[in-house]
A and B are shown apart, each in its own frame.
Chain A
Amino acid sequence: MENRLIITKYSEQFYPPTPNNFTLFLRRSIFFQLIRFFILNYKIMKIVIKGHS
């Protein structure tokens, strides 16, 4: 993120979305990620069960 200003304007790297500070905070927050850990496990198990049926 801190390097975004060195990206050449009008290059391909100029256009994609980058996470803002709140998104980065959520991605790193132990408490929030602990909740996501259980949710992600549940979502993966749904796929796994379907794959084995």
Chain B
Amino acid sequence: MSNIVILGAGVAGHTAAAYLQKGLNKNNHKITVISPTPTYQWIPSNIWVGVGRMTPEQIKFDLRPLYKKWGIEFIQAKAQSFYPEGDDQIKTGFVEVEYTNEEHKGVKRKVAYDYLINATGPKLNFEATEGLLPGNGNIASVCTFGHASHAWELFQEKLDKMKNGEKQIFVIGTGHPTATCQGAAFEYILNVDFEIKKRGLEKQAEVIWITNEYELGDFGMGGAFIPKGGFISNTKLFAESYFVERNITWIKRAGVKKLDDHKIYYENLDGEYLEQAYDFAMLIPGFAGHGFKGYDKAGNDISEKLFAPSGLMRVDADYTPKPFEQWSIKDWPETYQNPSYPNIFAPGIAFAPPHSISKPMTSKNGTPIFASAPRTGMPSGIMGKVTADNIIHWIKTGNATMIHKASMGRMGAACIVSAGYGMSKGTAATMTVSPVVPDWEKFPDWGRDIKTTMGEPGLAGHWLKWLMHYMFLYKAKGLPFWWMIPE
């Protein structure tokens, strides 16, 4: 009998749990999911909650009945420490967790495992930017359904003010010099702008994009080249065109350092310290690891063996420091397996990337200002599935060779960038890139396969995003033939 423990029930963790229960005989193996909340949320739809087009209930569901049906034990707790060698009492590896439910809040427990999947995602590091906490004055976030729900309340207040003739400044983008997830902020600013115009309030609104990207359209993946209209153009042009069409202005190469109730303080790559007034801000925070600790059998701290300095988990990536010009897709992990403890995996955002995808930039004052590497839903889901497939293969055959691989340097990704909700008036840009990390050796001209990389705005994009919302929630709920829907 094997004992598999999954930390986290987001896209990577829940996908791994789903395929493990499907692929293993539950009478012979035990699967446990540990997560601080019993809720699954379809994060890409948070932006629609943030503009009041969906309610939190439409994008989330309770995992407990599903896990009961699947024979998976669910523990509502947060992980704290990893003991991959066990201790005097427990011979296998274990994790120490702390309950977060009302009944046992604060109680600690050791959970033993044979295989551990760390899919804890990122810590939303709001504290790294002074004054950025959502709910603080005029600051919103769409990182969770709770944040997005508050963003909608704040947005309504601003809409009411504009209806009364008050001018309002909306600043949306990245809230830390090395933040990622520009795509989500990009979607949110377009949706906010769409809702303002839908109400005829554009004369009262100034909408501004603030970003740590070197150029617009970088999205943390170094931008992309797209064939369109007889040209092959960069996503810089695509993003700028989108903004100009909507009269949205932008501030780029900006590392946000601090916010108060009415001003954003930032440094740019030229080393200038500047300010931007605002009435509503939604800025994506920096991501970090959760500050987990690791200990060996004798109780010595082995956190450095398990985690990179960012706090994210070390996996089969090449972490050798090297200049941007020498970066290769070979640096990127394929199996998300920890090199020191092969029975520990970290799919999704929990793994430490070898480096960013965009070129690191530093201001004249030495402040790093650039987009960190994104890991969106589709790659996270694929990583979760590949991890489950490898563990199933290992358990069934006893062969520890990782036969399933999913490198971001080989897999493609599709992303639908919503720019307004509505079945006849809505719009979204459908984007695909292949691979996610540019492979300049295989594709020396454009870094990616130009035949499969595309970006197309239009109403059809909204239909696709709407369809995907329901399709992926159907899959996550484990409804009949869920496994036929790809990640």
Residues of chain A at the chain B interface (Cβ within 8 Å)? 1, 3-4, 6-7, 12-13, 15-19, 26-30, 33-34, 36-37, 40-41, 43-44, 46-52
Contacts and interface: CB of A to CB of B under 8 A. Distances in A.
Contacts, number: 95
B456 A40 contact: yes
20 contacts: A1-B245, A3-B202, A4-B244, A13-B244, A16-B244, A26-B458, A29-B459, A33-B458, A34-B460, A37-B460, A40-B460, A43-B430, A47-B434, A49-B486, A50-B434, A50-B452, A51-B486, A52-B382, A52-B486, A52-B487
A17 B430 contact: no
B250 interface: yes
**Which of B244, B424, B463 has the most chain A CB atoms closer than 10 A to its own CB?**
B244
A26 B434 CA distance: 26
A46 B459 contact: no
Given A50-B411, A50-B412, A51-B378, A33 B486 contact: no
A7 B244 contact: yes
Contact of B414 (A12, A18, A34, A48): A48
A17 to B, nearest CB: 5
A40 B468 CA distance: 13
Contacts of A12: 240, 250
A28 B462 CA distance: 11
A19 B241 contact: yes
Contacts of A40: 430, 456, 460-461, 464
A4 B457 CA distance: 19
A39 to B, nearest CB: 8
Nearest to A39: B460
Interface of B: 202, 237, 240-241, 243-245, 247, 249-250, 378-379, 382, 385, 406, 411-414, 424-425, 427, 430, 432, 434, 452, 454, 456-461, 463-464, 486-487
A34 B402 CA distance: 42
Contacts of A4: 244, 247
Contacts of B457: 27
Nearest to A8: B249
A50 B427 CA distance: 27
**Which of A6, A12, A29, A51 has the most chain B CB atoms closer than 10 A to its own CB?**
A51
B461 to A, nearest CB: 7
Contacts of A17: 237, 241
A24 to B, nearest CB: 9
A44 B460 contact: no
Given A3-B202, A18-B241, A47-B434, 6 more contacts: A15-B240, A19-B241, A48-B414, A50-B434, A51-B411, A51-B486
Contact of A30 (B202, B247, B424): B424
A44 B485 CA distance: 13
A15 B458 CA distance: 22
Nearest to B485: A48
Contacts of A47: 412-414, 432, 434, 452
A36 B460 contact: yes
Contacts of B411: 50-51
Given A16-B237, A27-B427, A30-B459, A44 B247 contact: no
Q: Which 6 A-B pairs have the closest CB atoms?
A: A16-B240, A47-B412, A3-B247, A37-B460, A51-B411, A33-B459
A6 B432 CA distance: 33
A7 B247 contact: yes
Contacts of B460: 33-34, 36-37, 40
Contact of A19 (B237, B245, B456, B487): B245
A27 B454 contact: no
A43 B250 contact: no
Contacts of A33: 458-460, 463
Contacts of B245: 1, 18-19
A44 B414 contact: yes
Contacts of A18: 241, 244-245
Nearest to A26: B458
Nearest to A35: B460
B483 to A, nearest CB: 12
Contact of A51 (B202, B241, B412): B412
Contacts of B463: 33, 37
A13 to B, nearest CB: 5
Nearest to A16: B240
